[in-house]
Structures are given as C-alpha cells and as structure tokens.
Copies of this chain bind each other. A is one copy, B any other.
Amino acid sequence: MADPRFFRVAGPFSLGQLADIAGAMLSKAADPDRLITDVAPIGTAGPSELGFLDNSRYLPALEASQAGACIIDPRYAPRAPETMDLLLTDAPYNGYAKVAQAFYPAAEIAGDIHGTAIVDPSARIGEGTRLGPYVVVAPRVKIGARCRIAAQVVIEEGVVIGDDTEIGPGASLSHCLVGNRCLLHPGVRVGNRGFGFSLDPEGYRDVPQIGRAIIEDDVEIGANSTIDRGSGPDTVVGAGSKIDNLVQIGHNVQIGRACVLVAQSGVAGSTILGDRVMLAAQAGVAGHLTLGQGARVAAKSGVMRDVAPKQTVCGIPAIPIKRFFRLVSIWHRQLKS
C-alpha cells in the first residue's frame, strides 16, 4: 500500500471494473465481482491487490507472487500462479497506468493565492489557480485557470502560461510561453539567455538573445532541467513531449511533438528533432542538425550528423545501431585473438 502520508487511495474496485478500465480481458476462472483494494508491485502485492508484469526479468517475481490479480500479456499467463486472477492485454503497462490512475486520482487543490505570493497588479491569474508561498509573479504575466504553482516559483515579466499547468518548487521562467496541462518539475529553468557570444578583440561579446522559449501543450520537463530561449528564432518544445531530469536544451532548438528526452541528455543550439524522436539517457546531439521523425539515439551516444526518420543510432560518433553492435563484436573478436 502506498504510504498514506503521501498518497490517498481510492477504491476498492471489482475485477470487472478494473478489466474495463484497463481495456483487458478477465481470465476464465476470475470472479468479476471480486474486490481489489489497491495496486502494488508484483513482488510484494497481497491477495487483495493487483500487480502487473511488463518485463520478462520479473517472471520469477510473478511465479512467487501472492498478488490477487495481475495485468499481464497473454503469452506470460502460463507463468502466473494458478490462484492468481489475470487481466489479459497486450499492453499491460498502459493497462496498469489506467488502473493506477483510478486508484490514485490527481488530488484536487484549492485555488488560492498564498498571502506571501507577490503578484504584480498588471499580472492576470486565472480562476482556480493556486500560487504557493513566496511565489513571485512579475508585471504583465498571464497565468491560466486551475494552475498549481508551487512555493518559490519565479515567473518573470511577460511570461504566459496556459490552463491546468503545474510548476514545482523553486522553478523559474522568463521569456517564454507555456501551454496547457504542462508539468514543470522543481528547479526547472526555462527561457534563460542562450550561450551565444562572438569572438571580439576585447574578449567574448554577448549576442543578444531575443527569441523566446515556447513550451507547447502537455509537455513535461524534469527536475533541474534547463531550456534556453532562442537567439532570434524561438526555442520550441513540441506538444506532448517528455523531458526528464537534468536535460539541457540549447537556444533555437526545435523539438517536435511527443519526443522523449531521457535524463542528462542534451541538444545543442539550432538542432531540429522531428516528432516522436527519442534520446536515451546521457545522449547528446550537436548543433545545427536534423533528426527525422521517430529517430532514436541510444544512451550515451553523440550525434554529429543528421539522422534519417525512424533510424536508431548509437556510439560516439553515432552510427546506425546495428553497425555499432557489429563494431562491438569486432572489438570482442580482436580481444580474443
């Protein structure tokens, strides 16, 4: 059971309800009226709880599990204990996500402005929006309805934020437009001056960075990640994209829709990622490149050239992943000889 200090569980739900929610089929022997009280990891779930299996590494945990029920791909069903009821689906993780959202719905937050929040009179705050303690909202900012702005967030002049967006403690935003339903984690920095300067006899000369950072709808940005504003063009993070912790996005970068950038990855200035591009952890992409729709970059890789749509690349410098692993096996052969 999730720690009640942090989470409030809804339910119980019947197996039949849960199968509907998950878009899954109940196994034959299951009683659709049986009540399930919670979700839990398959290794620790008890007889009234529901687990899920999405990764074959955890088959031994499934076999030893006491869980009352499990959301599972039909091909793994034979490995489940006989007494376990099964919710069969070929997308068990998505089924689990739906069920877990039913057990743990987002908390309703009262829309109030804390007495210590400083809001410039020229700023506009939408209905139902919550501003936490010590939030600072500068002149001409617009924040939509039902946003949750946590303690000590700083929103600088002219920033526009849509509806239903959540911002974690200590984040700061400047020179940016943020869409609806975004989630910005603690310590996120959006709209910073980009790293732009020219060589000059007297040293480096800063190039004014006069673009914006545009964060479209449904974007998530992880803790302490940094998104610089454009130098003239805008920096853009496309709708539905997911950015993990400690990620760096340089100025003028254009990230398409539904991209995934895993922790500690980075994209250098003016590079364009098509829709659904994925950068695994600690990957880096050089500046002024284009990665086509659905391209993927393996963890720790360094991309120095354009990547074709749907291509997966790996290595430093990154090459098509099959070639990379062929190279690795050549190395292993060389080590043996």
Contact = CB atoms under 8 A, between A and B. Distances in A.
Interface of A: 2-3, 5-7, 39-41, 43-44, 55, 57, 91, 93-94, 96-98, 100-101, 103-104, 116, 118, 132-134, 136, 140, 150-152, 154, 156-158, 160, 168-170, 172, 174-175, 183, 185-187, 189, 192-193, 195, 197-200, 203-208, 210-212, 218, 220, 222-224, 226, 228, 232-233, 240, 242, 244-246, 248, 250, 258, 260, 262-264, 266, 268, 281-282, 284, 286, 288, 299-300, 302, 304, 315-317, 323, 326-328, 330-331, 334-335
Contacts of A258: 203-204
19 contacts: A96-B198, A96-B207, A97-B198, A151-B172, A152-B154, A154-B169, A154-B186, A170-B172, A185-B189, A186-B192, A195-B242, A203-B240, A223-B226, A228-B245, A250-B263, A281-B286, A315-B316, A317-B328, A327-B334
Chain copies in the assembly?
A: 3
A168 B282 CA distance: 26
Given A97-B207, A187-B187, A134 B152 contact: yes
Given A212-B3, A218-B203, A258-B204, A172 B186 contact: yes
